[in-house]
Structure formats: C-alpha cells, structure tokens
Structure 1
C-alpha cells in the first residue's frame, strides 16, 4: 500500500468484511487506528498505521489476484477437516493469505479466482453482478431444444429457483447417448448446473467452468495457476460495477 487509503477500503482488502460492513464497523466504534478508536469514515491510513478490527490487528497486504484451473476432486476452500486437497494447495509459493472467490463443486473442474482482496471478492459475488460464467457439461442423454429453453426460463429445484442465462448443445453422440452442452450462468448456486440437468432427467457426467467474465483457461492445464494481469482485474471490476445497482 504505497499511499494512504480509506480505512474501510483497507479493512475490505484484508478480507475482514465488505466495504459497506467495514463502514458500519467504523461507525459502531469497532475499529482502532494506532490504538485509538476511529469513527470517521473519511479516515485514511498508510502502511505504518496499525489497524485493529474488534481488537484483532489486520495485515495490510498488497492485493493479489490469481486464476487457477481447478482439477476435479479438489475442495474450493483454504482448508478441509477431512484432509482432502484444497485449491490453495496448488499455489504454495503465494505468501499472501488468499481465498477462493465463490466456489466450484468438488467434482467440477475449471476456472476459479483466488485473492486476498475481500472488497473485490464481495463485488464479484454480489447477487446482481451479472458476470458470465460459462460451463461445459457432458450429459447422459440428449436434451431437446425445448428442454434447454426450460433452463433459460428457470426451474424450481428443492424450493430454490435456478436459471441459466443461455444453454445450447455443442455436440451429441447418439451411439453413447451423450451430449456436450454449454451453459452460461450469472449466479453460482450450490451444484446449480448438475441440479438443473438432474431435474430435466439428464445427469451430468462431467462439468467444467471454461470462462469467468473476460477470462478463459487458455494456456493452463489442470492444476496450473497464473496471476491476473492488472488490465484483467480492471475488466472484472468494470463488469461487476456496470451491473451492481
């Protein structure tokens, strides 16, 4: 953090809370700077200032942004009580305390973002951010165009409304009775693609997230990662900000 930044932004970057929640914490007198309670939202802090939230010091790390090609059989978390592999295991050289933005299911592969910037993560996960997430599903059975339209209209599964932005068949194998289907989501509800296809009667055999906003997996194999370029971070911010009310 080269220059001074607003206190709520520093708290959000540290992953403690969203910027809005950080503002409320400041107003509620839960934040100290250099041992003094601060309730002024315009307060700016630099690298040498000590910031505490509810008595706990925060590390003012430089924000970092990574993209990982998550393999199947990996948990989208920073730890697992059952000892299974987690996404951060694939970035052992990264010293910052990064965490995944959203999640990909254990048996789903593909593009997942990791950062230590809580503000950025909260922005991308905002319910109305409308950042396209493109999935490729291999289904058992071949859905009809009418059935795929149902996904775009939205279906209720176990009391939860699930909807795709777009769905189209890329290819079919009539001998094996399978289809490769592209599905675009704005949301990322738990096991959303699998649950939608299960409801239609086409279980998903394999699922991969190929794109996230402007990003794709080009040049990466499963288990590979790379830092995002500054312009890629900027593009994602712009995509999210355009759509958040």
Structure 2
C-alpha cells in the first residue's frame, strides 16, 4: 500500500514528519534510485527507499517512559560525552528520541519513542497536550504573583511567557518555600524558571509529573520502563483525538493536579466543554487566535489560550501532598 514518504520515514524512526518533509525538500530521499520531491509516495513493502544513499527500514514502534534525574541531558548524544537520557534506557531494537526537552536540572517524566506522529501530537501547542510540573521555589508566592504567572509574565524586550494554570500554593514557613503545581499547554524554553526569576523567586526543584495522558506515578528516580499496553492505548488515543496531522488536514491512524480551583489568566467555563464558536475555530484554521487571544471584555482579564477547567483530584499526591492555603504551615 502506498503512503506519503514523510509518513514512511517517520515510522522508520528518522524523525518527526516535519523533519522528514525537510529531508525530502533537501533532495536527500530517493525511491528506487530516483530523488523525489514533496508529495511523493511509495510502497514500503515493494519500493527501495533511501536516505542519503542508505536504505530506510521500518522499525518496530517502541515507547519508553523515564524518570529523568537532575544533571542528565535531554539529547541523543552530547559532544562533550556528558550523560544523556539515552544512557538510562536499554533499548536495542530501534533508535529512539526524547519527546520534547527537560532542562539539565529539571527532573521527572520524559517519553522516548521512534513514533514521529506521536511526537508531533504531544509537542505541538495547537494539540492542547498539557504538561504538569511540581514546582518548589524560595519564598512565598503571593496571590498577585500567581495571577501574573497564570496570565503570562513580561520578561522584557517584548517577550512574554505563555499562559499557564497555577495550582493552590502550599507555603511552608519553616523552610520558607512555596510548593505548587503548574500546568502548561505551550511550553517555551526555560519558561518556568525564567518567569519565576522575573517574579523574584529562585526555583529550587522542578519535576514534570504528567505529559498528556501519561503520569510519572511511582516510577523510581533515574529508572525507565516501556509503556504498558494500557498506557500505550491511552497515548495513541490522545494523539488521535487531538488530531496529529502530516499535512495540516489528515489525522493520524494508529488539569488539574491538586483537585482545587485553578488560578487562570481570566474567567472561563468550569464545565470543560467547548462552545460552538470554539468548534467553528477548529473547522476554520484561519479563525484561530494566535499566541495572544482577542481583547477581553472590560473588567476581565484574558483567558489563557488552550486552557480549560480540569477534573478534580488528578495528581494531588504529585503536587506535594494535601494542598494548604497560603500562609498555613
């Protein structure tokens, strides 16, 4: 059966579909000895497909979850021979890649796979795939600072962080630290650390506890394992439901974390349902808002794009135990 070349390359673990499209545009892909262009298709069972002259073979799709420790780099290889996340995963059947990045000093959930379609579905901000972090900072995070964090922090130079959802803050007076959960839809480079530094707080510890439908759970620190069949079904269903696409039109085949009311950048429905206007935006890509939403009504702040009311009780344990009101010890 014939398929688009970028899909075949992604399934072979070459990279995401977008990256594979770039390889085709650069003239590095050939079918039966002939260099092809974007839009070409092939039958992986019958045709000889090469990348830079080397045959491309489909690998079995594999999915690993890692509890990344501090000090390990999220990369495939490091020119300085420092320890990378691949050093912690015993995968010999296929070439795998980390889905997204965690900073060197950030810990927690990291997915590694050779499924390029899934990478696209989980990483693209338009797919609304939430990432939840347990954040521990120095000092007390005030309600006003939490609202600024939720709506986006001005970093200067015309740069503002993406909107977020801030869980209830647990201030621990004896240690003078605040612990809370932070949910991002659109992650930007070092967004959490930079925004909190701009508010005057140093991040002491940052742990990702959830990515899309996957949770860190009780996976030991520094350990990796393959996804269970149930987890694999969940993550593939999540990708299908949120419509990963190879050409902007065709779907692929194949929260909350503390149980309390979220702090948002503005008012929004708690039902989590979608309005007909939102569904219309989905059908008409030209009607979608960009990184900044339309102007709010007078007296109300803008609602962070892509965020919805989440179900209660998700990852309360991951957020540092039972949440307490600010000021309580």
Q: TM-score range by the shorter chain?
A: 0.7 to 0.9
Residue of structure 1 equivalent to 2:233: 231
Q: What does residue range 1-245 of structure 1 map to in structure 2 within 5 Å?
A: 5-16=3-14, 18-19=16-17, 22=20, 31-38=29-36, 41=39, 43-47=41-45, 49-159=47-157, 160-228=159-227, 229=229, 230-238=232-240, 240-241=242-243
96 and 34 in structure 1: CA distance in 2 versus 1, 3 angstrom threshold? same
What SS is found at the alignment partner of 1:8?
helix
TM-score (norm 2): 0.66
Cα deviations by residue, 1:127-184 (Å, 9 ceiling, x for unpaired)? 3222110001111001111110101111122543213420123422112211101110
What SS is found at the alignment partner of 2:95?
coil
CA contact under 8 A between 1:26 and 1:41: conserved in structure 2? no
Residue of structure 1 equivalent to 2:307: none
Q: Which runs of 5+ in 2 are unaligned?
A: 245-281, 286-329
Larger deviation, residues 178-187 vs 33-42: 33-42
31 and 83 in structure 1: CA distance in 2 versus 1, 3 angstrom threshold? closer
Larger deviation, residues 14-23 vs 180-189: 14-23
Q: Which runs of 5+ in 1 are unaligned?
A: none
Cα deviations by residue, 1:12-53 (Å, 9 ceiling, x for unpaired)? 223445435645765886532222345584634234632123
CA contact under 8 A between 2:15 and 2:114: conserved in structure 1? no
Cα deviations by residue, 1:58-87 (Å, 9 ceiling, x for unpaired)? 232122221111111110011112222111
Larger deviation, residues 4-13 vs 204-213: 4-13
Partner Cα separation in structure 1 for residue 21 and residue 77 of structure 2: 29
TM-score (norm 1): 0.86
4 and 62 in structure 1: CA distance in 2 versus 1, 3 angstrom threshold? farther
What SS is found at the alignment partner of 2:128?
coil
